[in-house]
Structure 1
Amino acid sequence: MVLSPLTVVLLSGVVGMGVAFLVWLHRDRPGAGPLAVFVVAASLWAVTYGIELAVPGLSTMERLVQIQLTLSVIIPVAWLVTVIEYAGYPHWLTQRRTALLLVEPAVFVTLVWSNHAHELIWSGRETQFVSASSVTLVPGFEVIYWGHMSYILLLILAGGVLLLRMLFRSNQAFQSQGLALLLAITVPTVIQTLFVLGVLPTAFDPTSLGYVASGAVLSVAILRGQLLDVAPVTRELGREAIFTEMDDMVIIVDDERRIVDINAAATALFDGDQNAVLGRSLPQMSPTLAETVPGPGEQTQTEMALDRGGSVRYYDVRVLPLYRAYGVVSGHLISLRDITDRRQREQRLDVLNRLLRHDIRNEMNVVKGNADLLRDTADTDERERLDRIISTVDDIVDRSNKIGRVTEALETEQHSPTALGQLLESVVSDAKGRHPDVAITLTCEDDIWIRGGPSVRIALEELVENAVEHQATDADRVAVEITATRADGTPGARVAVHDNGPGITDHEREVIRSGTETPLKHGSGVGLWLVNWIVRNLGGRMSFPDTDDSGTTVELQLPTAEPGHATDEPVAARRENAD
């Protein structure tokens, strides 16, 4: 059974109206509203064309052609609005731009319905047979109509360019969606163009059918959740919100270092609003900042000082290249993070560190020297007090030296494979030399290599010294047991130092675990703090396994390494790169 052109057109119109209704049910999705208008206009166009094929009167056919031309102006506008919403730029459709967009369609529709007075749209009233029982009116289109066709193609081309721009910036899922939109509008537009130019060898106008089919294809994609369910508008809105609201300053420049976008935080650098800054040259606005922008394809990171509001602020500046299609660099993204507070804290820590390591140590040596002189002429009671002063001074100086060694090691050392057994044997040998009355035993599995440097030795020495100093008052002899094994189930080495002392209090363990001290809760010294810093710097951890009344155990989990592995870069450089 072969359907007549009249039947095909009317059926497509009915199907199109059903599809439009289903699309309207999903109007909450980006672009679904204007797409429903698109399908309705195409369906009514098809129904009107079908009625034209069925009626015999010329005047009636002329009125139906006027209706079709009126409906045809809706389709390109609805298509463009669909693409704008789909791509995530609904803010482009301001009242002024919408009004300008509708000026030409309004003028065209006015001229269509007054054509009998001026014949600027078409002239002549020829008819042609589409089939044995169907006749259609074939107008002779004039210059205004061809101008309107140019406007239609311009709107469709604008939407196509917007889609292509999105395709080059999207992942595969969004690219397939964009291609579906682009193909759906291209096919009927080509058909319409070929028909009005007289290229198609038929009097039957398939344009309305093509637009109905396009609307149906896009609508099926919506109902299957393949198009507007996962529209890039959501992603674009999220990116825009992050860009707008983030505290870091962000500036986007093109390949000529003109400012093309800037967030609200960055406007404070230029003493103006965003609109006044856009399009300006960055070298003119901020020569110092412009010097950080590298050549095409390069990225940089640096710290710099900028004058802001009459005061100097310090920023961590990162510059990243922006790529468009085929790896072409289209500009750079400049982000500035205010590090003034961090820099001031670092300066204060440097001053305190220098004060602790040098000034206090020198002053303590003066105190000790004067105490030694007084001791020679003091009586017995005064000597005891002076001995206590000298002992306290020695402790302060030793603590200062210890912190200095650890700080220097953490900042400058390089990590390389270290034989754990040899390192522990050396630490135990030195400890026995300093404490001959202490029973120190070592048990270590063979061929264990750890990733470390000089600071590891400092940490192990500190643990042994801490175990010796905190000895039990009722013990016959201080005993320290050191055990080194491979960690069970995980890569790494386990070093446990056990003593028969009174143990570490719960609150001191909690201080080390939390990493903070308060006036009401603090540790008794810096030894365990130093060990914890060193181990964490290596990528390991320190813990306090539950023990009984027989003593205390401190356990270190250290990362292992392969013998002969390449040396790591300095810690300070790694920390700077990590920042």
Structure 2
Amino acid sequence: MVSASLAVVLLAAVVGMGVAALVWLHRDRPGAGPLAAFVVAASLWAVAHGLELAVPGVVLMERLLQIQLTLSVVIPVAWLVTVLEYTGHPHWLTRRRVALLLVEPAVFVTLVWSNAAHRLVWRGGSVVTSAETSTLVPVWGLTRWGHLAYMLVLILAGGALLIRTMLRTTDRFQGQVLALLAAITVPTVGHSVHALDLVPARFDPTSLGYVVSGVVLSGALLRGQLLDVAPVTRDLGQEAVFTEMDDAVVIVDEAGRIVDVNDAATALFSADPAALSGRELAAELPDLAETVPEAGERAQTETRLEHDGAVRYYDVRITPLYRSYGVVSGHLVSLRDVTDRRQREQRIDVLNRLLRHDIRNEMNVVRGNADLLADSVDPAERDRIDRIVRTVDGIVDRSNKIGRVSEALERERAEPVRLPELLGTVVAEARNRYPRADVTLDCPDACWVDGSPALSLAFEELLDNAVEHSDGAPNVDIAVSVRNEGVVVRVSDDGPGIADHERDVILAGEETPLQHGSGVGLWLVKWVVRNVGGTLSFVDGPGTTVEIELPAATGPSTVDDRSAGEPPRDGSTATDSVTDDSAADGSPTV
């Protein structure tokens, strides 16, 4: 009957081959190929050792020992290659380095199979028999100890690389790294203990170590965590982002020395990028170095850098870099070139000043002179003077309108706005300006939106457009409804409608030389609505219908307002909606 020790060793071989099959199914993953070779070699090693326990005769045992020693050279090399691929360093495996790695295994295997001629691997041995098993106990030579040392060096090198990766990665990948470390540590320790004869044993416990390895690897594979997602993928992605991003990025250590720069940042430095590593940032770019805060602090600022006689402006964001246990290892300095944006802002400021002040003042001069000429020109030319005055008034009106909206957008703050009150004021003012217009408002009492006082300017502009572009007595209806989590305000009129190209320009959000609007009114409406988080759209149909959807808000918990739910003092009752209609004589009513 086969002994328990032989059964355990053969079980190690079976489990190892099963693990090898699972790993081979994932051979497209980083490190799967050499890991499969590792597990196959380990399993065959276990098979050879199991046969050594069962066969009689010293000669046959020596042949099986030679097979085991030959398979042992695969383990450390396959392990190191697995780790290099898994951690994203396959480029290290150049042909020259691979050849150097294989020199010792090739020499050792040659000496193993020619040992009878020189006795450098083992000098002899004895057969130890126990129950139904027997094993060969060799007397090892110097070459065997050298090979064992070489195995340990390669395994420790891979372990050190894994530990480095574990300290720099996330919790998920740390579990993967621990699985790999455990898978190699157990059999290596067992092999070393047996080789040094630290624990007396009648058979090599390395096979038992690989049983444990197989269990660890199988568990990792069945959970889908070992090879499905490897840190190399994340590292390669981060490296690609760092290298190819348009923003300049400089990495400095805690002492302010340059660690790395991406391609976009190389233009900032006069020195060769390859020579920047280790140099002081303060010596290369002193203005940028002044923006770097104390270790562990974040910062966002703007700076100007001069290079090759040109001055560029940058938005600088500085993020601390942490190692394990919260230790700060440096800072990541990201620079976004905002020179063009800064120049555009300057041009806009100048144009805004010209439109809001200079042109308006000059148009007032033109209008004043036109009024003076009106009394002295021939009556037949009076129409020309009136046209000049109307044109000037239109330019001044647009300037005032843009100025009001710009000032409102610059100083506004988002706040809950009670829509019935805001719209009621806008409607009342519109009736005062246009007595011939029939303006109605239908809005629920308890209706609040996230907005700002600038909304009144947007609705005022819509009413002005509806009235001014109407041929006769205009009818304008404002209807408010609650839809999902928003409030929809629909402004409808019976005018000629808005041309399709005007709608397209507003909805597209940009004007082109071939497609542009005729005014700024709808642009101002869109800017105000978008600024408070709303949307603007047009509804097909007769006349013009503009639909504005605003985010709903919750009003104050207590509102000292009759329309907010408090009964009127005259004894009347508040209704669920407010409807404003013009009186029969045209006077405004609210």
Which TM-score tier does this pair reach, normalised by the shorter chain? 0.7 to 0.9
SS at match of 2:501: helix
Distance in 2 between residues matched to 1:257 and 1:110, nearest whole Å: 53
- For 1:215 and 1:77, how far apart are their aligned partners in 2? 19
Whether contact under 8 Å (1:539, 1:558) holds in the other structure is: yes
Partner residue of 1:481?
477
User: 1:6 touches 1:134 (CA, 8 Å); kept in 2?
Assistant: no
Pairwise CA distance, 1:41:
2.4
1:85: how far off? 1.1
TM-score where L is the length of structure 1: 0.86
**Aligned 8 A contact 2:538 2:547 in 1:** yes
Q: Which moved more, 1:72-81 or 1:232-241?
A: 232-241
**1:406 Cα offset (Å):** 1.0
Compare 164-173 and 393-402 and name the one that shifted more: 164-173
Matched, 1:502 2:501: no
1:568 aligns with none
Give the 3-state SS of the residue equivalent to 1:365 in structure 2: helix
- The residue correspondences of 1:358-373 to structure 2 (distance < 5 A) are 358-373=357-372
Give the whole-Å Cα distance in 1 for the aligned partners of 2:353 and 2:8.
91
1:31 aligns with 2:37: no
1:575 is matched with: none
CA contact (8 A) 2:526 2:536 kept: yes
- How far 1:377 moved relative to its partner? 1.8
Aligned counterparts of 1:138 and 1:130: Cα–Cα separation in 2 = 17
1:186 and 2:178 correspond:
no
Deviation for aligned residue 1:116: 7.5
Q: Which residue of 1 aligns with 2:562?
A: none
Give the distance between the partners of 2:508 and 2:11, measured in 1 at CA: 74
1:137 is aligned to 137
Match of 2:92 in 1: 92
The residue that corresponds to 1:556 in the other structure is 548
- Aligned residue-pair number: 557
Deviations 1:234-260 (A, max 9, x none): 332222222222222222222223333
**Cα offsets for 1:274-293 (capped at 9, x unmatched):** 43223333222222222222
Secondary structure of 1:278's counterpart equals coil
Structure 2: how far apart are the matches of 1:159 and 1:137? Answer: 30
Corresponding residue number in structure 2 for 1:539: 533
Measured in 2, the distance between the counterparts of 1:130 and 1:311 equals: 87
User: Structure 1 residues 278 and 369, CA, compared in 2 at 3 Å: closer, same or farther?
Assistant: same
For the residue of structure 2 that corresponds to 1:501, the secondary structure is coil
Distance in 2, matches of 1:237 and 1:79, equals 21
Partner of 2:580: none
Change (3 A) 1:539 1:224: closer
- What are the equivalent positions in structure 2 for 1:2-17 lying under 5 Å apart? 3=3, 5-6=5-6, 8-9=8-9, 12-13=12-13, 16=16
Q: Distance in 1 between matches of 2:361 and 2:343?
A: 26
Structure 2 Cα separation of the partners of residues 557 and 362 of structure 1: 37
Equivalence for 2:71: 71
Paired position in structure 1 for 2:373: 374
Instruction: Provide the C-alpha distance between the structure 1 equivalents of 2:306 and 2:110, rounded to a whole number of angstroms.
Output: 60
Q: Give the aligned residue type for 1:492.
A: G
Task: After superposition, give the CA deviation of every residue in 1:281-312 in whole Å (9 maximum; x if it has no partner).
Answer: 32222222222222233222222222244422
For residues 34-433 of structure 1, the aligned pairs below 5 Å read 34-53=34-53, 64-102=64-102, 105=105, 125-131=125-131, 133-140=133-140, 142=142, 146=145, 148-211=147-210, 214-215=213-214, 217-218=216-217, 221-222=220-221, 225-433=224-432
Shift of 1:2: 5.1
The aligned amino acid for 1:185 is: I
Q: CA deviation at 1:403?
A: 0.8
CA distance in 2, matches of 1:311, 1:74: 59
Question: Separation in 1 of the partners of 2:6 and 2:477?
Answer: 99
Matched residue SS, 1:544: strand
TM-fit CA distance, 1:456: 1.3
Q: For residue 93 of structure 1, what is the amino acid of its counterpart?
A: L
Residue 332 of structure 1 aligns with an amino acid whose one-letter code is: H
Residue 571 of structure 1: aligned partner: none
**TM-score (norm. length: structure 2):** 0.85
Q: Does 1:528 align with 2:527?
A: no
Q: Which whole-Å CA distance do the structure 1 matches of 2:285 and 2:215 have between them?
A: 53
Q: Return the alpha-carbon distance in structure 2 between the equivalents of residues 105 and 214 of structure 1.
A: 23
User: 2:539 is paired with a residue of what secondary structure?
Assistant: coil
| Separation in 1, partners of 2:273, 2:64 | 51
Report the AA paired with residue 537 of structure 1.
Answer: N
Output the CA distance in 1 between the equivalents of 2:149 and 2:285: 45
Kept in 2: contact 1:255–1:329 (CA 8 A): yes
User: What residue ranges of structure 1 are gaps of 5+ in the alignment?
Assistant: 566-579
> Could you list the per-position Cα deviations for residues 94-141 of structure 1 after superposition, in whole angstroms to 9, with x for gaps in the alignment?
334434544554565566667778877665635533545413223256
Matched, 1:515 2:514: no
Cα distance, 1:399 vs structure 2: 0.5
Q: In the aligned structure 1, how far is the partner of 2:146 from the partner of 2:357?
A: 86
Residues 1:220 and 1:384: Cα distance change in structure 2 (over 3 Å): same
1:123–1:141 CA contact under 8 A, matched in 2? yes
Residues of 2 paired with 1:107 and 1:454: CA distance? 86
Q: Any gaps of 5 or more consecutive residues in structure 2?
A: 558-590
Q: C-alpha distance in 2, partners of 1:558/1:15?
A: 65
Q: Judging changes above 3 Å, is the alpha-carbon distance between structure 1 residues 461 and 71 closer, same or farther for their aligned structure 2 residues?
A: same
Identity of aligned residues (%): 64
Counterpart CA distance in 2 for 1:97 and 1:119 is: 30
Q: Which residue of structure 1 lines up, in the alignment, with residue 570 of structure 2? A: none
Task: State the AA in 2 paired with 1:556.
Answer: I
Change (3 A) 1:192 1:520: same
1:55 Cα deviation (Å)?
Answer: 5.9
Separation in 1 of the partners of 2:433 and 2:26? Answer: 82
Do 1:304 and 1:317's aligned partners in 2 also have CA atoms closer than 8 Å?
yes
